[in-house]
Each structure stands twice: as structure tokens, then as C-alpha cells.
Structure 1
Amino acid sequence: MMKKILVIGSFMTDLVVKSARFCQEGETIIGETFNQFTGGKGANQAIAAARLGGNVEMLGELGNDAFGRDQINSLKANNVKNDNILFTDKAMSGIGNPQLDDSGKNRIVVIPGANLQFKPDDLEELVEVVQSADIIVLQLEIPIETVYRAIELGSKYHKVIILNPAPAQELDLRYASLVTYMTPNEHEAQLLTGIDTSSQEGVKESAEELLRQGYQNVLITLGEKGSYFVNKRVEIQVPSYEVKAIDTTAAGDSFIGAFAFGLANDESIQDSLSYASAVSAIAVTRMGAQPSLPTKAEVDTFLNQKVKVKA
């Protein structure tokens, strides 16, 4: 039976502006397109795993507004269990403002809103949901004390814990040893360790430092350079697939969701990383966060085409 993935995290409605290049200070430029998409690191990762066929539930908090209703509709449409999501009148649903240039690179401003209302006491009321899961996926767009409590509860009930430390911030290392998989990108790894990750050697040094901090397994996503995994026993480098990127907004989230899906199916670390690389490659060729996330059938087709090309 497939293991259950519980994503505890954020919802953001992405208001996406695309222009040929980014603005400079004091400059106004004419943009190309505007779109609105449901997103948020937590919701993106939940939907990424669910579209691949995962057994996924989401916990978090939304405002009583149109953005919140859109988020619930998106979860339902993608078979993510959402019965235990909370709503508040104290804040509006979270908003993100991704800005994209013609190369597909992005800059994102986030206004967390209702996400910051999801407190440890709320999680305590939902402890049975935590107990029902096998894998818990966390990010840092909800209050850090709620993330820490989720780690404590996950460890107490012997769950696999994936921590995606984004947006990056200083973390309490007392929780490090409780985290099964620490999954920063290269920029987050640099912030967390103080080690320059612009070179492959720097990436390895940063990953080793995260292991020294106490994390059990370290996975650093490297965008177009692939991913790097290390623990005390193995070291794995997985390349990315060569595609033309249009929008990298959900690249990391698609990778994490797919990696969790691989673990939920008892796949090896190597196979889970390779599969996640394919999922993120497809995601960056499409606009939007959640609209870019592929189904299992799409990933299978993509991989079959890649095999034929190599042959």
C-alpha cells in the first residue's frame, strides 16, 4: 500500500508578471503578461505529489476569501485531502508576486497573510492527522514555531520528515537530528552554512556542514545543474534534463513533491532523485506554479522520449 504524505505548509495565490527583463531601481518598464495561479510552497508540493498518484493530505490555514476558496478547489481537483484545513477572519489568504524574465528566471515577493495564523496549538488539535501519515513535508512559509512542533510530533511518531528550508532563515539546530531529509537549494544552503555554493566543491562542503549540524540526509537542489545528495554512507550526484525553461517558479516545489512521492513508493534515493529531476524539468517548461506540475502519465512519456533519444 502506498505510504501517506502529509504536507504541512503554505498557500499563496501567485500574481505573476512577465517582462523581458527585471526592473532596475527607479525604473518603470512595460511588461508582457499577467496571470493569476494558485500556489504556495506547501500547496505546490502537495499537488506535485498528488498528480503523480500520491496519497496526499494538506494542513495549513487560509483566509475566508476568494483566494482561499480557489485554493480549496485546486486541492479538490487534484485529489489532495483537505478536510482539516483551517480558515481565519484575521488575515487574508497568502499572496505571492513572482516576476519572470525571458530566460525563465524569477524574483518573488511573498505576503504570508493567513499562513502566519497557523500556530502550534492548531497543530496539536490535528495530531491524529500527523499520526496517520508516513511522510511529513515541511517548508518555512508558516510560523517557525509551528514547523518545530511539526518536527517534534513527526519524530515522536516515527515519521519520515522532509524539511524544505524555504524561504531560508536561521534554524534552531536542536531540531536538526530529528529531520530525515534536509532539502535546500544552493542559495538556501549557502545562507544556512555560510559556505559559497557557486562551485561544485562549495556545494559539497555546504552539504557536509549540514550533516555536521545534525541533519540525517542532505539534498541540495541545483536548478539546471541537477541535485546533490549525501549522508554518512553515500554520495549521489544527479544531472538535470536539458529543456528550455519558461517559468522556474515551481521547479523546487515540483522536485520536493516528486521526491516525497518516490519515497512513498519505497523507491531508492537514486531513483527518487532521478524521477524528481524529470518532474521538475517538465514543470519549468510551463507557465505558473500548479498548472506546470505534471501527471504521472506525462512524466512517463517524457522519460520514454528521453530514452529513445539516447538510444
Structure 2
Amino acid sequence: MSYIDVDHIFYSYKVFKKKTGFKGMLADLFNRKYTDKKVLKDISFYIKKGEKVGLLGPNGAGKSTLIKLMTGIISPQDGKILIDGMSPNTNNYSFLNKIGVVMGQKSQLNPNLSALDTFNLIRDIYKIKKDDYHKRLHNYLMMFELNDVKNYPVRKLSLGERTKLEIIASLLHNPEVLILDEPTLGMDIVSQNSLYDFINQINENLNVTILIISHQMRDIENITDRILILLNGSIAFDGDTDELLTNVGEKTPVITVTGKNSNPIISSNNADVSVIDNDANISKYNRNSTITLKLSELSSLTIEDSSLEESVYKIFKEEKS
């Protein structure tokens, strides 16, 4: 049974067509012309309780609009969205208690206050029981190793520390859904890995449903089990990583052979072979292809599958062409 149900969503907004020049500006004062820009076109998908889903798409694909719809900031013009049976609404406190959101460009931590001051404010806003609040806060600070910085002004902290504290702030009221928008932007590798471990622990221990929007393929590979790709306002792909690589990646892995002093390939049949010095790349082959190698001359043989990043890039590139 689905926990998040997005059913045939349409959304568009009016764009003001501005005329150029002084005369155009005067004309716009009395007779403005607008055009409809379709942002989302018949979007449908579902997410089960406890799933970890990545939402990918180029700039302008409609990702931000979809997140605003799912969090109740705006309402769909057609279709419906249900999260645990409830329509997103910022005036519905039962709904707000079920979601936590971390937006990369919008901080909920006051830079001039300590993180602990903001956490205490969140406790009062969500009316979290005192014992539950202290227990959760202690556990999260220990998991992230941030107990020593909770009393420092947020502006004095590193980007990685601020991002982790943002996530803690979004988890204090014990939400069932956590939406993350570019959570590792600007982080170093160590901080990224720490964040991956934390998010996966939250998902495993508390069964929190994760929806992550990111351009970083490492985020998607290390956190998500399923990928949604949004292109030109529509879902272009919905499946797991292996399925994406199978459907979009190279049909056959590229085989590279390297010779010690010369090209080790003696002959080939029904395969494309390109040779540069001592290296040879073998591609576009099938079960009937044959390659004969001189083993005494062979230095190494590698088989390289398409990466997730390459596969996603192909989808984006096809959409633009």
C-alpha cells in the first residue's frame, strides 16, 4: 500500500510577456499579456512507507514545484496528492507533524543564535514532550558527533555542521517523511559519507520515508533504492538503479585490453575494436563475437559498465535534443 500517492497532477502558472523599450513599458501598464507555462503535466507515482527515493531532473524540470505541492505550500490545479491519506496543507497540524523538510537554500536555523536555541523553539512549536525532545536531541547529536557545537552561533559553524544541524531540526518532531533538497551541496567527502550513514540509520531504525532531490550522483547511489527522473514536467523514468543502468546504459560493457609492448589482440570477428598504442577498446559485440589474444603480451584486461551518472546524463541529453 502506498504511503505517498501522487495522482495525475497538473500545474501551470502565468508568465508576463514584457515588451521592450519605453513605449513597450507604457503599453504594459495598461494592457499586459500573459502566457501559460505548463510546469507539471500529468504526474503520477507512489512511494511506499519506508522507501528511499531520489528525484532527479535538470534545472526547470519542475522538481521545486513538485516539492511545494507535496508540502502544501501550493495546491495542485488538477489531480490529487495524498500523504498517509491526507492532502498536503500548511494549516493542517496533523499533516505538518508527519513531514520534515531540509531545503538547501532556506535555513531554519537563525545564524545569530545557537542551534540549541532553535531546537528549543522547534520543541515549543511542535509541542514535543520534554522527555521525548531531550532523548531525540541527545541521540541525534551523538550520531552526528555535534554535541560540542550545539551552543555555538550557527554562523560560526562549517557548512557540513550547519547542514547536519538542519536535518536534526527537521527530525526533532519525529516526522514520518523526510524531504531533502541538495543536502550535500558544498560538503567534503568525509562529511558526505557521515550524512549518508546518518540518513540510512534514520530510515532503518525509524522507518522514515526519504525523498531526496540532488544533482550529486553519490547522494543517489549511497542513499536511494529507487529513482524518479523528471523531464519537461513529466516522469521520464521510475525504477531502481539497476533498471536504469540496464535500460539506458551501454548494452554491452566496454572491454579494454592493454599489452606489455604492443597490442595483444591477434584477431577479432563481429566486434568493434579501436586501438591506440598498446591499448585496445572492444565494444558493440555479442555472443557470436570472437577475440583472439596473445596471452604472453597481455598486461591487463578491464570491463567497465556504464555508471549511474552516465546513464542519467544520456536521458538529460536526449531530452534537450
Instruction: Tell me if both proteins adopt one fold, taking TM over 0.5 as the criterion.
Output: no
Q: Indicate the structure with greater strand content.
A: 2
TM-score, scaled relative to structure 1 = 0.31
For the pair shown, the structure with the greater C-alpha radius of gyration is 2
Q: Indicate the structure with greater helix content.
A: 1
